[in-house]
Structures are given as structure tokens and as C-alpha cells.
Structure 1
Amino acid sequence: MNKNWTDVEFDLDGSVEKGVGLIKQAADNGANLIVFPELWFPGYPKGIADNVSIANHLKNYYDNSLVEGSSQWNKLLLAAKENHIYVVPAFSHRQGDYIYMAQALISPAGETILLRHKLRPSGGEREIWSDGTIEELKVVATPYGRWGLLECWEHFHPAMTYNVQSQVENLHIASFPC
């Protein structure tokens, strides 16, 4: 199995630690927003395309998926707050028995403004992640305008892009894998 681009092999604690460092670095360089690639936390599983590999690695990947309210989640909220920066983590989100491809928008106050799941994982991703819901396609107001989020292949489905565009986005945030 390939490591993800962070050089941390599906280790949620390690990817969060590295992400917190990048959040600080971005803020120190004057950024008001940092956006992470699709599934950056704990990494995009590039090498598990066949059913045998999925079966061998799914439990570890599930265990290393981010849970809202966990210590790792709270570290991301705190990093946004301490560095006064908007953060868009893209991550594998664990809710109960399911995992979802997800994005969130965290404010410089360290509050979750938006958390959404990818509506329909693409291709082999469907073997791992569950579907999101249309209600999660929301555009939110910030002092910089109205922001919307989509992931990767969602950009090629007019029903999804139209949905966020019709809510009058001023800034569109796109997370693609690395």
C-alpha cells in the first residue's frame, strides 16, 4: 500500500499533527484560509484498489478516520482559533458504523461552520465510503462572502455544482486528492 502524500501512513494522529503545523505555517505567512486535499486526514488510500487490499486495510482505515468531537478534531479547531485562520479539512469522517468522505469549514474562532459529506463517492471509493445527502450541499456566509465546498468528482455533476452555484457562492472551495 502506498503512503499518502503527507508521508504518514494512515495515522490520524500523525496527519493531524502535520496538518496543525501547516495551519500555523499558512497563518504565519499571512494566509486567511488553508484548504486540505481530499482525504488528507488520514490520507487518500491510493494502493487499496482491489477487494483483497480493501479487506486487509479497511479496519485500520476506519479506526484512523476522524470523529467530530474527538481529541484530533478538537486539535484542528484549536489550531484554527490559535492562528486566526479559516481551515477546510478534507477527511475520512467516522460516524457510528459508517465512514464518509467529508469536508468542513472551521472559522478563525475555532467553530465548525459547515460539515458535509461527498454525495456519491466515485468508482472504487464506493467500496469504502458511504453516500452523503443533498441537504449537506450548503453555502455559508463569512465576512469574505458566501463560501461553498465540493470534492473532486462532484465538480463533474451539474446537479451538484448547480446546487451550490444557485446559492450564490462568492468563493468555491474544491478539494481534490493529491
Structure 2
Amino acid sequence: MSKMVITIVQRPPVFLNLAASVARAEDLIREAAGDGARIIVFPETWLPGYPVWLDAAPGAALWGHKPAERLFRVLFENCPELDGPEIARLGQVAQELSVDVVMGLQERRSASLFNSVVRLGADGQRDVHRKLMPTHNERLIWAAADGSTLGAWQTPHGPMGALICWEHWMPLARAARHRLGEVIHFALWPAVTDLHLLASRHYAFEGQCYVAAAGTVLSRTDVLEGFDSLGIEARVAREMLEAIPVDPHQLKAGGSAIVGPDTGLIVIAEPGDAANLTAEVDLALLPEGRLYLDTAGHYARPDIFDLQIDMRHRT
């Protein structure tokens, strides 16, 4: 079957509360599957929430700053391990409902955190990609990944893959993905701004694939209520979140889109609208665009360019 329905979840997690967010994710997956989705996509670091304080809270980058230290501990304690019970539970739900779930998460590996995305297949297959280079202030909390997750996600529908946020401006990371012949690419963002949408549309044309660009709607109230749901004594950590300036707009405005290989917007969310975004795509149409462009095939120049990728496990 060449046609399939993709749903992007834009509603926020229970911010920093891993257990509650997993329960919410299960409900959202069941809702989307009930509406006919076969692929259900969650945005960047949806588990347990994008660390918005890095962008907006004073003191986030200060050395020895106790609120930042305590808040990082709360975050660390609520980040799932890839082989842990939380991801296993979501995998069981994916199999039960015969859907693929693409989940952005802050992955705990030993004593470090990675910005990751995991695909939980309807057939029980599990694939992962880890962000190669945390961007700007993200380097305060995330480790840089190796190249071991730059392989294709082999699915019954064809190769798929993901890049996270500013990886879409790494030309060689894009080339590493394009060589795999993706039919659907998952572009995970905290929210899909105009600039992020530009990168997602460019990727769709360059890769001649469909792109699901996923972003979250998140308010300051969501952040504080999520933190409070933990029921922990961590006043200085909450003060860090309280210091995020009050803004009449959301901290993250969603803006998700599903893009065709001709860069056309199949569907796009209104900023601030947290409803699920759903569209049907037809993979049978993909060869038409490759008549004009195949950057890893007939429009490549292997006699001039040679892409070498180190995919050994190092981290």
C-alpha cells in the first residue's frame, strides 16, 4: 500500500514529568491511531520536554548556579533510557495498534544526556538517531553523538530517517541521509518557525521525499504545572522556571507541517494551535520528482565528490 496517514502530535508533555508524559503519550497515540494514523510523530525532546529555560531564564549558563544545577538534576532523573521501561511501554502500544511511533526524547546514557529520536515500529523494530551536535546553549546539557545512528531506518514502506533541529543545516549530514533514499523524513524541532519550515521544505526537495516537520505548543503555564506535578521539594529549580519572562505568546508555538517533495505544504498548523496535524501521503508519486533531481544518484558526481561517513560506535 503506497498511501499512508501521518499524524504529528503538537500537544505538550507533562513538562519534566516522565511517568505522566509517557501516560499522556499513550493516550495521544491511541487517539491518533483511532483517527486512522499509521505513523505518529512527536517533536524534539518531547520526553520529558524541551529545556526552554536555556533560552529564557537568567543564570542558566552561570557556573555554580544552584538553581541551574538543581533543575538539571530534575531533568536528568526524568530522562528515559532507550532500553528502559518507558520506551518499552510505548513500543508495546505501537505494536498493539499496528502503528509506527517516532518519538523525540532526551535520552539518558550512563552519566550523559543525548538529544535523540527513536522509531518504534509496528513490527517491534526499534531505530534511533542521536543529534550529532547540540546547538549553542544546548551544549550545557547534551553530549555530542557519534555517527553510528546515521543509517537508514528500514521499514516495510521503504527507508526512513530523521534529523533533529539544526542538523538540517549540516550539509554533509543531509547528504548522509539522502544517500539512503528516504521516502519519509522526520524533521524534529522544538517548534517550527519560518526558518525551520524553510529548512524542512528545502530538505524535502533536495531529498525528494516527504518531510514531517514536528513542533510542540508549550506555554509558561504548561512548564510550571508540569514541574509542580512532580510533587518534589526543589524550590530553587522552580524559581529558575519562574524566571522565564511572562510573554503573551507561547514559549513554543507548534507550527508543524507535512511537506511534499515538490516543497508544497500538504498541511500546516496555525501557530499556537495544539491540535494534531494529519495528512495522507502517497509514496507511489516519489519517482516523478526523481526524474529531475536525485542528489545521491543521477545528479551526483562521484568522480568529483566522495562522502565518507564514520559510523563506528564511539559514545
Q: Same fold (TM over 0.5)?
A: yes
In structure 2, the CA distance between the partners of 1:121 and 1:140, relative to structure 1 (3 Å rule), is same
CA distance in 2: counterparts of 1:37 and 1:24, whole angstroms:
17
Aligned residue for 1:146?
Answer: 159
- Aligned positions of 1:2-17 closer than 5 A: 6=12, 8-17=14-23
CA distance in 1: counterparts of 2:105 and 2:122, whole angstroms:
19
- Aligned positions of 1:24-103 closer than 5 A: 24-49=30-55, 50-51=60-61, 52=65, 53-103=67-117
Identity between Structure 1 and Structure 2 (%): 29
* 1:80-134 deviation line (CA, Å, top 9, x unaligned): 011110001100000111110000111113331x112100011111000001111
2:124 match: secondary structure = coil
Contact 1:79 1:110 in 2 (8 A): no
Q: Is 2:166 the partner of 1:160?
A: no
Q: Which has the higher contact order (CA 8 A, sep 6+)?
A: 2
Contact 1:149 1:174 in 2 (8 A): yes
Unaligned runs of 5+ in 2: 1-10, 191-215, 217-315
Contact 2:54 2:137 in 1 (8 A): no
CA distance in 1: counterparts of 2:27 and 2:93, whole angstroms:
9
Larger Cα-atom Rg: 2
2:36 match: secondary structure = coil
1:65 match: secondary structure = coil
* 1:4-60 deviation line (CA, Å, top 9, x unaligned): x62623000111111111111111011110111000000001123422353231111
Q: Is 2:104 the partner of 1:106?
A: no
1:89 match: secondary structure = strand
1:76 match: secondary structure = helix
- Aligned positions of 1:112-123 closer than 5 A: 112=126, 114-123=127-136
CA distance in 1: counterparts of 2:114 and 2:159, whole angstroms:
24
CA distance in 2: counterparts of 1:161 and 1:148, whole angstroms:
11
Aligned residue for 1:137?
Answer: 150
Contact 1:116 1:132 in 2 (8 A): no
So what's the TM-score if we normalise by structure 1?
0.92
1:109 match: secondary structure = coil
Amino acid at match of 2:39: L
Of residues 174, 186, 189, the one that matches 1:176 is: 189
Unaligned runs of 5+ in 1: none
CA shift for structure 1 position 141 = 1.9
Q: How many residues are matched?
A: 173
Contact 1:139 1:149 in 2 (8 A): no
